[in-house]
Structure 1
Amino acid sequence: MLIGILGIGSALAATELPPLPKMAQNIYWKDIGQRLTYIQEGHKGPVIYDFFDPNCPYCHGMYDEEQPLIKAGKLSVRYVPVAYLMPSSTPEAAAILQSPHRVQALQHFEGLAAKNFAAPMGPQGPVGLPQAKALPQTLHALKVNMA
């Protein structure tokens, strides 16, 4: 869902400021893409960046909507984990980022999340999702992703 928030912010800013030249936009996104830590699914079609919090039900809905397009070779998604919503967001994002097989970890997490978001949520977020103690480099990556 953070993609929607970023899009709204861009629309508001566009009414107040002149648009960046196309070349400047490309440099800006290239720089951002090099600094972010992400998990990529798909290698064909346009590339989008999907900023997600592990505890965001709207983010999980977006993930489900993107999957058919990825499987059809029509979309490449770079999933950028952030940790804003709940105290459990950081250890859940860490479980995905610290996995030796990030794509499979993300897919496994999303499968569990779909079931857990259907149940009532506790104060710490959905119960039963994988968590890991975040290593210093993971905390740094999340901080950069959220900057």
Structure 2
Amino acid sequence: MPFIRHLLTLSLGAALLPVTALHAEELPAPIRKIEAKGAKIIGSFDAPSGLKGYAAQYQNRGMTLYLTADGQHVLLGNLYDADGKDLSAEPLQKLVYAPMSKEVWAKMEASNWIADGSKDAPRTVYLFSDPNCPYCNMFWEQARPWVNAGKVQLRHIMVGIIREDSPGKSAALLAAKDPQKTLAEHEKAGKSSTLKPLAKIPAAIQAKLDANMKLMEELELSATPAIFYLDDKGELQQQQGAPSPDKLLKILGPK
């Protein structure tokens, strides 16, 4: 499951030590053994009962390690107190998921997208979009009031996964003289769209499609639309498929 779906918002208050300070001291041998297996140790934090907590990243997922008081053993997993509160959640959010979220947002910002709406819109929403995706078209329709009012700019990261001609159609959109206008005409027409796939995709456009697909695979996404937005706390959230009306307000904000 992609790490985005594990984003946590809790109020614990553990003392956290960032990775820069962490590596100023030598990692204990048991923690180094875990690191050698492929885990990236991000930082450390205080834990109860003589334990020392470490936040780690492994294959786009966060995990917590707890070094025992004797410094010889490591426990892997979440730690809960007597009230059932997850004491691992906030360290993972602050040390692992928040930085990863910023990195993902920056990658989407640098991807090959087509703007839909004003560049001055106060809210930006990214979505991986296929020209043959009916749910992408549904979300496009849902978002019209916000986009037309200048409140939201959608950024369509074009991919081609649904039909055989999907890559060619995405290429046609990216290669259009006015991609924003061409995309709007295609989405507005819906099933009646006359968008033609490129018979031969130029190398430069193919490179853009390949980069978008690589990013989609990195995020472990398998369907469109995959929608990404920042919530009211500035934390990255994901929506798979056309959203329900209440979810739409969370993604796009108040009308």
Alignment TM-score > 0.5, same fold: yes
What is the letter of the counterpart of residue 47 of structure 1?
A: T
Answer yes or no: is 1:115 the counterpart of 2:191.
Answer: yes
Q: Gaps (5+ residues) in structure 1?
A: 1-7, 117-126
C-alpha change, 1:92 and 1:21, in structure 2 (3 Å) is closer
The size of the alignment, in residue pairs, is 127
**Where does residue 121 of structure 1 map in the other structure?**
none
Answer yes or no: is 1:130 the counterpart of 2:130.
Answer: no
TM-score by length of 1: 0.75
Residues 1-147 of structure 1: matches in 2 within 5 Å? Answer: 9=2, 10-11=4-5, 13-14=6-7, 17=62, 18-19=92-93, 20=96, 22-34=98-110, 36-41=111-116, 42-43=118-119, 44-112=121-189, 114-116=190-192, 128-132=194-198, 133-147=200-214
SS at match of 1:54: coil
What is the deviation of 1:138?
Answer: 1.0
> Highest Rg: 1 or 2?
2
For the residues of structure 2 that align with 1:107 and 1:51, how far apart are their CA atoms? 16
Task: Report 1 or 2 for greater relative contact order, CA contacts < 8 Å, sequence distance ≥ 6.
Answer: 1
What is the letter of the counterpart of residue 153 of structure 2?
A: S
What is the deviation of 1:69?
Answer: 0.5
**Where does residue 123 of structure 1 map in the other structure?**
none
Identity of aligned residues (%): 23
* Higher helix proportion: 1
Q: Gaps (5+ residues) in structure 2?
A: 9-60, 63-91, 215-255
Native 8 Å contact 2:186 2:194 kept in 1: no
TM-score by length of 2: 0.45
Native 8 Å contact 2:108 2:126 kept in 1: no
